[in-house]
Amino acid sequence: MAEKFTIYSSVQSQWVGVMLLALEEKGLKANVDYDVKEITLSTGDNFAPEYIAINPNGTVPSLTAPSLSKPIIESADILRWIDSRGTKTLVPEDEKRSKEILELMHSPSMTTNLILFQARDPAEMEVKKKSGWNGFLEGRQARLEKELAAQPEHPFYVSKTAENLGITSLYRAKVGPEHEGLYHMTDEMYRTMAAGLDKLESLIALPFAAGSRVSEADYNTVPWLAHAMMGADTPVTAIQDFGPLERLIQKTVPDFKIGPKTRQWWSNVAKTEAFKKVYPVLH
């Protein structure tokens, strides 16, 4: 019998989707094949010293197992480890294409935090300040400051507290000239995101991302796009509605559209049983 492992998951985490899709694809069951430890991001549970000992980056997901010398803390690596249990099913047909897709979707320039937390003008900033993301940032900041007070020299808490405060302080401040730098940066980042989605369009092979069958290329892209659509205020049950995301990006890049290959790929992958189980709604 295969060893039981532990996953560190969160309903609030984008990249947990990679792991959950892999678990469904392999037919593995919670409490039978693995245990689940839920991490609440909005209260900074991922910054607790106990979790930092598992994942020094303070990110979710993570995976531990008796046979592992150390935890696996990158979602793409977690998928590969899960896929190694039994017959591998998520190995891409076109490994070069898959590698390019993974590098694109996990690149810092494609972060969906842009959609969730940033603003391009005073009107957008006011909306963000009134949104639930304000409370999310404050919850994280409170936890970071608590841990920093307990361990003032800890390099993670020193850097992460300052990083989170950079955006949190703008939410706390009255909207004014000090936000101009954020607006300019955000506008440029939307241009980069649009270019990245155009690149994804060029990389998709069809019917799936890296060939004729579902692979890690698909399951590392689905969570990004689902999270981006959710962040753009797409109704969570409107799985096929790219309109809100397109309109959000079009404010910076007026002629931007989700390409036909991306649309067809999304339609194809949305029919898989793993997608239906993990993404009954956008998250």
* Same domain, residue pair 25 and 64: yes
Asked if pLDDT for residue 111 goes beyond 80, the answer is yes
Domain final residue, candidates 83, 115, 144: 83
Split at pLDDT 50, 70, 90, the class of 1 is: low
Residue 68 and residue 138 in one domain: no
- What is the distance, to the nearest Å, from the Cα of residue 111 to the centroid of all Cα atoms in its chain? 8
Q: What is the mean pLDDT of residues 47-73?
A: 98
Summarize pLDDT for 161-191 with one digit per residue, the tens.
999 999 999 999 999 999 999 999 999 999 9
On whether both 109 and 230 belong to a single domain, the answer is: yes
Q: How far apart are CA 221 and CA 112, in angstroms?
A: 12
Last residue of a domain, one of 25, 50, 83: 83
**What distance in Å separates the CA atoms of residue 85 and residue 79, rounded to the nearest whole number?**
10
SS3 for 38? strand
- pLDDT, residue 151, reads 97
Predicted pLDDT of residue 127: 97
Same domain, residue pair 143 and 45: no
> What pLDDT is attached to residue 44?
97
pLDDT value at 52 more than 90: yes
Q: Are residues 169 and 237 in the same domain?
A: yes
If asked whether residues 59 and 124 sit together in one domain, one would say no
pLDDT (tens digit per residue) in 244-282: 999 999 999 999 999 999 999 999 999 999 999 999 999
User: CB neighbours of 146 closer than 8 A, spacing ≥ 6?
Assistant: none
Domain of residue 40 covers: 5-83
Query: Beta-carbon neighbour count of residue 172 at 10 Å?
Result: 13
Residue 194 shares a structural domain with residue 155: yes
Q: What is the mean pLDDT of the chain?
A: 97
Domain boundary among 83, 113, 128: 83
Question: 248 near 129, Cβ under 8 Å?
Answer: no
Residues 124 and 182 in one domain: yes
Asked whether residue 77 falls in the same domain as residue 107, the answer is no
**Is there a single domain that holds both residue 217 and residue 267?**
yes
253 and 113 fall within a common domain: yes
Same domain, 143 and 18: no
